[in-house]
């Protein structure tokens, strides 16, 4: 079996359960009606994007198709009000866990309980109680030690709260000022910095990246000169998602040094062919900001994005976070054997990857950003640039309502026009969502690698109470599946080649892979339709479809597909196969 999308073992991912989220790259689109804020796990799949330890996986194929993505924040100018309630004590979290239909998991160590002072604590409103339950139940389901939420209603910060512990063993309560890593929410901030340079006239979205980064050279059929800034911001560059170094240099020169080492990289497809999530695209976008402005990327972001947005707790500096002494430790159990690794904010850093996912922040800061973007850009962006971030820039080839902007997903959820993104980095998970027309936003930060997706959509349901709608039928007639059949030549994220043959027999679509490194050892699996042109197959031999393949047409005119993709490999249809497949 070929070494496909090799990734380290992960906890089973969950989409939005009964609250109806489509997570780009995930297997199912769930929009079923909400009963209680409870979790409905998907069939076992891989999760996250953290591939810094692939050695422990061996030859077993694992998928990691949850796109780590982003969003951010509130209040264009002005102060954040005092929190409406105090930190939720660990005993309250444990009680909610016990009530969960999933049972009381191991969440908190046996520290003395910390109770709110009943004489001073504000009485919770029904909305606040619903928000708490959404968060607590999702924390219980994921065995998350600590979390933080903030919610904007009608353009005003209405609620913020901390839950649980900063460290699973050592305690320390999470409050509304506790700082977390926010992962790929960073990409949205990088996109904003690019748009500032567009406004300043130092770059254009249709500029080739090589105008600003002339030392960038690639191998393969397709020229690096065809990659534009727009391609980088929309994940349409064709650049493989080959970043795997969670730790690296913290020097300001790291971005340029990384770009100069990409000579062996081959694009998966001609730039502009289709959307496919890639961290290196945003790393290059960050370098474009650095070159256009003449200021190191992280310094530029602190001075030109975070400061004018009033995001005083947002930074790339681990030492700054450590100095606050109010930070969440990261908890990552996504390793072979389930052994948990606990990270301090300064346990790892990588300046080259900073534009793709290394920011630290709080839920309140994220909502400052969300409100700023919703309200036209404030002191950071022009109204046209704020609109560009939120616009439907490129179709993602999943479901008809799903588009990508600049660092943001655009989706219709139960009639609501929403923008959202998530982030996952070893130890921490984040989600940020807003509904511009309702001037509503929610941010959730967690100190485990899996973001609190269910809680996010549960809070949307609780606050906005959108009308439940029947889930759309995204199945297609097997009689039309002949357009997928054929032989595809694949390249994985490391540049290694293999072949896949897609066959249709009756109503059963299947794929056969042949690894050039292991001739005579093909692997065949049925393809199970998830929705429209996206199918799943069992990649690790456990009889559970757990890896996605999405077929992409070369144009809207032809029905026959040219490409098949997921995050870690892309195949192009070949009329003359390189090998004879059984």
Listing DSSP states for 324-358 in one string gives: HS-BPPEEE--SGGG--EEE-TTS---GGGHHHH-
Domain limit, last residue, from 238, 267, 299: 299
In a domain, 32, yes or no: no
The helix (H) or strand (E) run that includes residue 491 is strand 486-492
**pLDDT of 61:** 24
Token digits for 44?
């076992």
In a domain, 63, yes or no: no
* Rounded distance between C-alpha atoms, residue 282 and residue 117, angstroms: 46
Burial class (CB in 10 A: 0-12, 13-18, 19+), 526: middle
Here the CATH number for the domain that contains residue 255 is 3.40.710.10
Domain limit, last residue, from 238, 265, 299: 299
Q: Is-contact 533 24, C-beta < 8 A?
A: no
Phi, psi of 81 (to 5 degrees): -65, 165
**What residues are paired with 434 via a beta bridge?**
419, 441
**pLDDT of 106:** 25
**pLDDT of 328:** 98
Q: Is 235 left (phi over 0), alpha (psi -120 to 50) or beta?
A: left
CB neighbour list of residue 133: distance below 8 Å, 6 or more residues apart:
37, 96
Q: Is the dihedral of CA 224, 226, 232, 235 positive or negative?
A: negative
* Rounded distance between C-alpha atoms, residue 343 and residue 348, angstroms: 8
**pLDDT of 305:** 98
Here the CATH number for the domain that contains residue 555 is 2.40.128
Q: Is-contact 304 155, C-beta < 8 A?
A: no
Q: Is-contact 192 311, C-beta < 8 A?
A: no
**pLDDT of 321:** 98
Residues 368 and 295 in one domain: no
Token digits for 45?
């799949």
Residues 268 and 292 in one domain: yes
Residues 336 and 429 in one domain: yes
Residues 415 and 501 in one domain: no
Residue segments in the chain with a per-residue pLDDT below the cut of 50: 1-121, 336, 576-582
Residues 403 and 534 in one domain: no
In a domain, 15, yes or no: no
**What residues are paired with 394 via a beta bridge?**
404
Residues 292 and 222 in one domain: yes
Phi, psi of 321 (to 5 degrees): -65, -45
Residues 166 and 198 in one domain: no
**pLDDT of 108:** 26
CB neighbour list of residue 244: distance below 8 Å, 6 or more residues apart:
51, 52, 54
Token digits for 494?
């490391």
Q: Is-contact 456 464, C-beta < 8 A?
A: no
In a domain, 12, yes or no: no
Quote the domain boundaries for residue 568.
478-574
User: Exposure string (b/e) for 140-164, b if CB count within 10 Å is 16 or more?
Assistant: bbbbbbbbbbbbbbebebbbbbbbb
* Rounded distance between C-alpha atoms, residue 436 and residue 458, angstroms: 18
* Rounded distance between C-alpha atoms, residue 130 and residue 297, angstroms: 40
Phi, psi of 222 (to 5 degrees): -110, 135
Identify which of 13, 9, 16, 143 has the alpha carbon closest to the alpha carbon of residue 66: 13
Residues 489 and 427 in one domain: no
Q: Taking the chain, what is the end-to-end CA distance rounded to the nearest angstrom? A: 14
CB neighbour list of residue 570: distance below 8 Å, 6 or more residues apart:
238, 240, 268, 269, 276, 490, 491, 563, 564
Residues 325 and 410 in one domain: yes
Domain limit, last residue, from 464, 498, 525: 464
Residues 329 and 454 in one domain: yes
* Rounded distance between C-alpha atoms, residue 199 and residue 197, angstroms: 5
Q: Is the dihedral of CA 178, 179, 181, 184 positive or negative?
A: positive
Residues 247 and 201 in one domain: yes
Please give the DSSP secondary-structure letter assigned to residue 228: B
Count of structural domains, the chain: 3
**pLDDT of 349:** 98
* Rg, C-alpha atoms of the chain: 23
User: Exposure string (b/e) for 538-565, b if CB count within 10 Å is 16 or more?
Assistant: bbbeeeebbbbbbbbbeeeeeeebbbbb
Residues 317 and 454 in one domain: yes
CB neighbour list of residue 559: distance below 8 Å, 6 or more residues apart:
480, 483, 553
pTM (predicted TM-score): 0.81
Please give the DSSP secondary-structure letter assigned to residue 495: S
* Rounded distance between C-alpha atoms, residue 83 and residue 171, angstroms: 21
């Amino acid at each position: 079996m070929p070494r496909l999308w090799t990734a380290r073992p992960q906890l089973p991912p969950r989409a939005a359960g009964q609250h109806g989220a489509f997570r780009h790259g995930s297997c199912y689109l769930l929009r079923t009606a909400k009963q209680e804020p409870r979790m409905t796990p998907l069939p076992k799949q891989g999760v996250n994007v953290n591939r810094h330890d692939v050695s422990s996986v061996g030859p077993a194929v694992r998928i990691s198709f949850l796109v780590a993505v982003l969003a951010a924040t509130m209040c264009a100018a002005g102060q954040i009000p005092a929190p409406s309630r105090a930190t939720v004590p660990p005993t309250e979290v444990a009680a909610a866990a016990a009530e969960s239909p999933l049972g009381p998991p191991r969440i908190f160590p046996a520290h003395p309980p910390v109770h709110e002072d009943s004489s001073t604590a504000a009485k919770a409103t029904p909305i606040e109680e619903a928000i708490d339950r959404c968060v607590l139940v999702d924390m219980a389901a994921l065995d998350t030690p600590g979390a933080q939420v903030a919610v904007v209603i009608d353009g005003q910060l209405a609620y913020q709260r901390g839950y649980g512990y900063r460290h699973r063993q050592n305690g320390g309560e999470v409050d509304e000022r506790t700082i977390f890593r926010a992962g790929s929410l960073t990409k949205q901030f990088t996109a904003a910095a690019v748009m500032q340079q567009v406004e300043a006239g130092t770059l254009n979205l249709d500029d080739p990246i090589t105008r600003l980064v002339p030392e960038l050279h690639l191998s393969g059929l397709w020229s690096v000169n065809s990659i534009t800034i727009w391609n980088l911001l929309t994940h349409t560059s064709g650049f493989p998602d080959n970043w795997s170094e969670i730790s690296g240099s913290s020097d300001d020169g790291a971005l340029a040094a990384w770009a100069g080492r990409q000579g062996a990289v081959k694009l998966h497809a001609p730039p502009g062919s289709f959307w496919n999530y890639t961290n290196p695209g945003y790393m290059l976008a960050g370098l474009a900001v650095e070159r256009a402005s003449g200021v190191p990327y992280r310094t530029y972001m602190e001075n030109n994005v975070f400061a004018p947005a009033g995001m005083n707790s947002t930074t790339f500096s681990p030492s700054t976070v450590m100095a606050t002494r109010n930070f969440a430790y990261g908890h990552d159990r996504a390793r072979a054997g389930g052994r948990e690794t606990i990270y301090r904010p300064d346990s790892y850093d990588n300046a080259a990857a900073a534009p793709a996912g290394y920011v630290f922040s709080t839920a309140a800061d994220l909502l400052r950003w969300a409100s700023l973007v919703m309200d036209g850009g404030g002191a950071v962006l022009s109204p046209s640039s704020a609109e560009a971030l939120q616009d439907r820039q490129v179709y993602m080839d999943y479901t008809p309502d799903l588009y990508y902007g600049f660092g943001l997903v655009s989706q219709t959820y139960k009639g609501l026009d929403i923008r959202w993104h998530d982030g996952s980095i070893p130890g921490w998970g984040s989600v940020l969502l807003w509904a511009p027309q309702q001037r509503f936003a929610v941010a959730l930060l967690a100190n485990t690698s899996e973001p609190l997706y269910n809680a996010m959509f549960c809070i949307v349901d609780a606050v906005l109470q959108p009308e439940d709608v029947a889930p759309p039928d995204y199945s297609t007639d097997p009689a039309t599946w002949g357009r997928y059949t054929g032989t595809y030549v694949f390249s994985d994220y490391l540049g290694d080649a293999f072949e896949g043959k897609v066959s249709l027999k009756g109503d059963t679509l299947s794929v056969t892979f042949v690894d050039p490194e292991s001739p005579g050892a093909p692997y065949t699996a049925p393809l199970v339709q998830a929705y429209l042109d996206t199918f799943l197959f069992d990649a690790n031999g456990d009889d559970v479809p757990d890896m996605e393949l999405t077929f992409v047409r070369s144009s809207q005119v032809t029905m026959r597909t040219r490409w098949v993709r997921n995050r870690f490999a892309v195949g192009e249809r070949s009329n003359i196969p390189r090998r004879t497949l059984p």
